[in-house]
Structure 1
Amino acid sequence: MPFLKESKLLIAVSGGLDSVVLAQLCHALKFDITLAHCNFKLRGKESDLDENFVLKLGDKLDVEVFVENSDTETYAETEKLSIQMAARELRYNWFFDLAENLNFDYILTAHHADDNLETFLINLTRGTGLNGLTGIPEINENIVRPLLSFTRDQLEIYVNENNIKWREDSSNASDKYLRNKLRHQVIPHLKEVNPEMLQNFKNTLEHLNDSADIVDESVNSVSKRAIDAIDEHQITFKISEFKKVNNSKAYLFEMFKEYGFAEWNDVVNLLDAQSGKQVFSKTHRLIKNRTHLILTYRNDNVIQSESVESYTIKEGDKKFEATFGVLLFDETDTVSELSMTTIFVDKDKLEFPLLLRQWKNGDVFHPQGMNGKKKLSKYFKDEKLSIIDKENVWLLTSDDKIVWVIGMRADNRFKVTENTEHILKVTLQ
């Protein structure tokens, strides 16, 4: 990795064999390095001894050392994470902060070939897609793992030949965690069956990564054809494109897995479901809307029948800033051409304060330019609004009568006539 020679590097050092070897090698190569050590406060005095060891290592190598002390157990409880996941999150969040604030080009971690095999087996036992079987990436954005092609046995030979001291984490001896069980009870048997296992595993990863590249190319091709529209709120996909491929489920999985969906049969069933059917993940939802699927963030606050947000606008207010834009109110003597963003109403027909609110089921209005009244739900259906579109509809009302379906249609009951004396212009900016 010649690019490391000219880079400012932050090395994650626990004090264990792997990270100490990485620090020693980078120092021997005269790289520009700084050490970073996380004390998770999980092993009492032993954790503090690890910290002291890393500080002394920094002195020996004559490099700067950053230390972070974390209350891992409290964080895990607060965030509802396992201790291992909490420690990982705390560690990487801190590394990223250091890299950003102090302009480190890369964060180096000491993962090696045995770690890669363990991660592969963990993902395999838990169930995963192809990406979960392609191993730990050697370079992932600004994280680099220079030791990934070396085995732990090779690292042990290096420290023994060079008389390098390191710290053994006592928790590594426990089989409490799945990784340790695999490390102590499974992998040794696999290596006994085939001493060349790690090399063969490396070859297998290369083949799987090659296959993953082919899959990505195919998924990207379908994705380009399927995506109909993208904005800051949603992505719209053409259902017809998913039905053209041989395995819709596979493409849906690859396209939507990063959004946290898990019930893949339900996602597939959306292709033939009634319009309005939804599937949820913890963060997103996928909605069937006629001939399209709409992907958007999950919004549990939008329950039209139970919760309607509203604001009041007093007489004389000239400007009101809302989540969807800015409403401007101006008295005028003339009426220009109507538009989606500007209406003119008879001010004397209004009762202040006006109410700005989201629509709710049962709302009825008198669409300007039409005779009679119409339910908003029917109007939205005729206008072919999606569920997302409807959730973003706001109304300007007077005495519970709709004055304007904002950005769409004004109400006939407040239109300007030849008898109007005071005209109010309302503009959505």
Structure 2
Amino acid sequence: MSNTQLTPGIAAGRLSAEDYSRNFSDIAPRLDPHEALVAADRCYFCHDAPCVTACPTAIDIPLFIRQIATGTPEAAARTIFSQNILGGMCARVCPTEQLCEGACVREAAEGKPVEIGRLQRYATDSLMAKAVHPFTRAQPTGKRIAVVGAGPAGLAAAHRLAMKGHDVVVFDRRERAGGLNEYGIASYKTPDGFAQAEVEWLLKIGGISIENGKALGAGLTLEALRAEFDAVLLAIGLGGVNTLGAEGEETGNVLDAVDFIAELRQAADLAKLPVGRDVVVIGGGMTAIDAAVQARLLGALNVTIVYRRGKARMGASEHEQEHAASVGVRIIHNAAPVRVIGNGAVREIEFAYTEEGPEGLRLTGETFRLRADQVMKAIGQKLSGAPEGLAIAGGKIAVTGPGRTSLPGVWAAGDCASGGDDLTVTAVAEGRDAAEDIHAALMG
């Protein structure tokens, strides 16, 4: 982790091997066949089902659940993958309580929705365990497309383009493909190397090559890509991290939460990963929850999330907030950081209470301090490294329709593109739709 200084409060190996194994095991194990049948039997198979409307990838949820109910989970998986090729990951990380399950008729009537997410995992895991990829490539078109970024949007686009018969080269700045699925999601949601297994499974379609360690810059320019390829899709995500704007922010042991999560995800031995005794996470989204919970599971004694607005404004779902509380994470609302206190390394952080008014958020002037030997910033990311010549809107690459940018022959999708809500499932939908538009443009 960058900016980490080992102080008396920060240590590795706080727990036993058994504790690490238990804490980072699968948080929601796959349903067994009987459990899946029981769960599927609760579906009403609604006409004009609200769950489908609530799904960003528009999966035919009643159909795939009916296929599970009739004992054909592999057919159910094909229904899912035809709309969302990363349906396995989305089954694990989607905020289903806000999307499909939140719209479920059973949720409105009984307060207990059909377990759509777990049923989706049951189906997709069943098919992914098979050796045969469910889709085949169309006849070669002779067209070559460059995809920059191997996250959810880039991978979804690459697969759809390859399926159409195009040849795709994916460039990614990291050592492994997967983007946030590999580097940015809590490890207990995707244990046992699932993110990489999913990438390898996706690549079985053929026609896709991945070149790692290549980012837009001096060695890989948009101008050169446009000259070499028939189309270019930018799926570069958001590489920059917002600043706190607090005095002393550069003090040691003030970290970016995304870096903490990435290091944890790539760690071969969690017992060697240092964590503070008193950890404070600043932010209110899923990154804040994932960082805080994992710090607690690594053995931090006190973990506190501080969010500048009220509970209802948090980006993390109610379910995720409750999970954080269940493992001992405290959440403080309506407070913003104003000063980091320490001599070389952080010792305390001072917050001011906030309140919302007609003119927006303001500090009340009343302050408090929290003891902290490790502070993690999870206050959002921003676009970094966007090529010149692209129109920008709201801090992201401006797009119209299914990902068309201001430059001919260049599309953008995922978190880097304007619109959307920075969810894995939304990125998949945007990548898929951009691929369809690229195909239509290239084939006339």
User: Which has more radius of gyration?
Assistant: 1
TM-score, shorter chain, exceeding 0.5: no
Give the TM-score of the pair, scaled to structure 2.
0.23
Give the TM-score of the pair, scaled to structure 1.
0.24
Higher RCO, 1 or 2 (CA under 8 Å, sep at least 6)?
2
